[in-house]
Chains A and B, each alone.
Chain A
Amino acid sequence: MIQCTHCGTKNRDGSKYCSDCGARLVPQAGLVCPMCSTPNPVENVFCSKCGARLVPLTAATITDKPAAPAPIKGISLPSKPAEPPAPPPPSAKTEDWLEQLRTQIPDQPTDEPSPAEPPTHEETEGIPDWLARLRAAEPPLDELSPGEKARQAAAAIQIGDEDVPDWLRPAPAETESPRVADTARMPDWVLEVPAAQAAPSSAAPTPSAQEPDTAEPQVPAWFKPIEPSPDLPPPVPATEDEIPDWLKALKPSDEALRAPAPPLPSETLVEGIPAEKPAWLTTTPYTDISEDEFLPDWLRTPIPPQPTPTTPEGVAPEFRGELPDWIAALKPAEAAIPHIVETGPVETTGPLAGLRSVLPLAAVIAEPHRLSPAPDKPPAEHARLFEAIVAAPVAAHPPRARASTRGNTLFRALVYILLTLAIVIPFFVPDLANTSIRTFGTPTADLYDTVATLPFDSLVVLAFDYDPGSSGEMEVQANVLVRHLMQRRTRIVAISTLETGPQIAQRVLDTAARATGNYVYGTDYVNLGYLAGHEAGLRQLALAGFAPTTIDYVQRRPLTQYPNLSAVQSWRNVALVIQLAGTPEVLQKWMEQVQPRAGVKIVAAVSAAAEPRARAYREAKQLQAFMSGLMGAAQYEILSNQPGLAVISVGAQSTASVVLIALIIMGNLFWLSSRNRGKTK
Chain B
Amino acid sequence: MQVLWDLLDSTIGARQSFALALLLFFLPILFFAYWAIKRGAQVKFRPIAAYEALRGLFARSVETGQPVHLSLGTSGVGDQFTADTVAALNVLEYLAERGAVSAAAPLVTLAHPTTLVAAQDLLRRVYRQSGLAEEYEPTRARLTAPDPLCFSTPRPDHFPYAVGTMRLLTQQKLVANVMVGRFGDEFLLMGEAGAQRGLTQIGGTSAPEVLPLVTATMTHPLIGEEIYAGGAYLSNKTTHLGSLLAQDLMRGVIVAAVTGMVLLLTLGLI
In their complex, do chains A and B touch, with some C-beta pair under 8 Å? yes
B13: interface (CB < 8 Å): yes
Which B-chain residue is minimally distant from A499 (CB atoms)? B150
Residues from chain B with a CB closer than 8 A to the CB of A584 are: 207, 209
State the main secondary structure of chain B at its contact with A: loop
B238 touches A613 (CB 8 A): no
B63: interface (CB < 8 Å): no
Contact A22/B241 with A17-B40, A612-B209 known, Cβ cut-off 8 Å: yes
Residues from chain B with a CB closer than 8 A to the CB of A585 are: 80-81
B39 touches A17 (CB 8 A): yes
A residues 588-625 touching B (CB-CB < 8 Å): 589, 596-597, 609-610, 612-613
Residues from chain B with a CB closer than 8 A to the CB of A17 are: 38-40, 238
A500: interface (CB < 8 Å): yes
Partner of A22, one of B153, B208, B236: B236
B238 touches A499 (CB 8 A): no
B159: interface (CB < 8 Å): yes
> How many angstroms between the C-alpha atoms of A499 and B157 in the bound complex?
11
A596 touches B13 (CB 8 A): yes
Which A-chain residue is minimally distant from B158 (CB atoms)? A469
> How many angstroms between the C-alpha atoms of A123 and B13 in the bound complex?
90
A16 touches B39 (CB 8 A): yes
Interface size on B, as a range, is 20 to 34
> How many angstroms between the C-alpha atoms of A467 and B81 in the bound complex?
18
B55: interface (CB < 8 Å): no
Q: How many A residues, CB 8 Å from partner?
A: 29
Which B-chain residue is minimally distant from A588 (CB atoms)? B80
A535 touches B150 (CB 8 A): no
Contact bitstring B195-236, A, C-beta under 8 A = 1, else 0: 010000000000111000000000000000000000000011
Contact A20/B15 with A499-B150, A500-B150 known, Cβ cut-off 8 Å: no
A596 touches B241 (CB 8 A): no
The minimal Cβ–Cβ distance linking A505 to chain B, given in whole angstroms, is 16
A500 touches B236 (CB 8 A): no
Contact A499/B40 with A21-B236, A21-B238, A22-B236 known, Cβ cut-off 8 Å: no
The minimal Cβ–Cβ distance linking B9 to chain A, given in whole angstroms, is 9
The minimal Cβ–Cβ distance linking B194 to chain A, given in whole angstroms, is 14
> How many angstroms between the C-alpha atoms of A630 and B155 in the bound complex?
26
The minimal Cβ–Cβ distance linking A308 to chain B, given in whole angstroms, is 53
A18: interface (CB < 8 Å): yes
A499 touches B155 (CB 8 A): yes
> How many angstroms between the C-alpha atoms of A589 and B81 in the bound complex?
12
B134: interface (CB < 8 Å): no
B149 touches A499 (CB 8 A): yes
A44: interface (CB < 8 Å): no
By CB atoms of chain B within 10 A, which of A499, A500, A535 has the most?
A499
A-B CB contact pairs (8 Å), 11 listed:
A17-B39, A18-B238, A20-B238, A22-B37, A22-B237, A467-B158, A469-B158, A530-B152, A589-B80, A613-B208, A613-B209
**Chain B residues within 8 Å of A, Cβ to Cβ:** 13-15, 37-40, 79-81, 147, 149-150, 152-153, 155, 157-159, 184-185, 196, 207-209, 235-238, 241
**Chain A residues within 8 Å of B, Cβ to Cβ:** 16-22, 24, 408, 412, 467, 469, 498-500, 530, 532, 534-535, 583-585, 589, 596-597, 609-610, 612-613
Q: A499-B147, A596-B14 known; 20 other A-B pairs, CB under 8 Å?
A: A16-B39, A20-B237, A20-B238, A21-B235, A21-B236, A22-B236, A22-B237, A22-B241, A24-B40, A408-B196, A467-B157, A499-B149, A499-B152, A530-B152, A583-B184, A585-B80, A596-B13, A596-B15, A609-B185, A613-B209
